[in-house]
Amino acid sequence: MTSEVVENEFEFYSKAEKYWKDVPATVDGMLGGYGHISSIDINSSRKFLQRFLRDGPNRTGTTRALDCGAGIGRITKRLLLPLFKSVDMVDVTEDFLTKAKSYLGEEGRRVRNYFCCGLQDFSPEPNSYDVIWIQWVIGHLTDNHLSDFLKRCRAGLRPNGIVVIKDNMAQEGVIMDDVDSSVCRDLDVVHKIIRRAGLHLLAEERQENFPDEIYHVYTFAMR
């Protein structure tokens, strides 16, 4: 659990904020030098998401999505705006959100809100989102803050809405990364946090065709 590897919570968050302030506001910067995997990532995410958007009695709507840890809007631009009428973005780094306004181009007009906030302090507007997408950012939250944030996300869903987490998974336990001040959890730990938040897992999928040297990446859908 993060309590075993995060010695000072304030330092854990402030060090991460400082790290991201120095990261270039580019796709390569968002992906830690792995910008070339962006299309593989987006295409897999689209397939995963579309199974919930297909016709059916419990179909997830396409009115509004929330991009958490949005950075410059890589996911908003290529995954969410093509599928949803409007998108909100939240990120802790103001420079990234400023860059997003030019990076998103014309379609960026359909981004309603740019929230500059850490997810530990962010509350999605209740009953507002069909999809809340949380990618490569849960490692920046302690277990307690992640569980509490997911509870707030659950309250933020519209009928048949889903919360999606896509992130790195450790082989075993919780691993601290001192460089960007984040943790990487194993599947069991993530499953426990999801259950603790009162969410029910609908689907889970391992990302294919990523470089061998990086962590395994999993996508979870829940409500």
Measured distance CA(46)–CA(49) in Å, rounded: 5
Q: Is 91 annotated as a binding residue?
A: yes
Q: Is 143 annotated as a binding residue?
A: no
Q: Is 119 annotated as a binding residue?
A: yes
Measured distance CA(87)–CA(107) in Å, rounded: 10
Distance of CA 110 to the CA centre of its chain: 19
Q: Is 50 annotated as a binding residue?
A: no
Residues 6+ apart with CB under 8 A from 2: 142, 143, 174, 183, 185
What is the b/e burial string over 55-76, where b = at least 16 CB atoms within 10 angstroms of the residue's CB?
eeeeebbeebbbbbbbbbbbbb
What backbone torsions phi and psi does residue 90 show, to the nearest 5 degrees?
-135, 130
Q: Is 93 annotated as a binding residue?
A: yes
Q: Is 156 annotated as a binding residue?
A: no
Q: Is 46 annotated as a binding residue?
A: no
Nearest Cα to 27, choosing from 71, 68, 57? 71
Measured distance CA(172)–CA(186) in Å, rounded: 5
Long-range residue pairs from 121-125, CB within 8 A, at least 24 positions apart, any chain = 122/68, 122/90, 122/149, 122/152, 123/152, 123/156, 124/66, 124/152, 124/153, 124/155, 124/156, 125/156
List binding-site positions: 69, 74, 91-93, 119-120, 135
List binding-site positions for S-adenosyl-L-methionine: 69, 74, 91-93, 119-120, 135
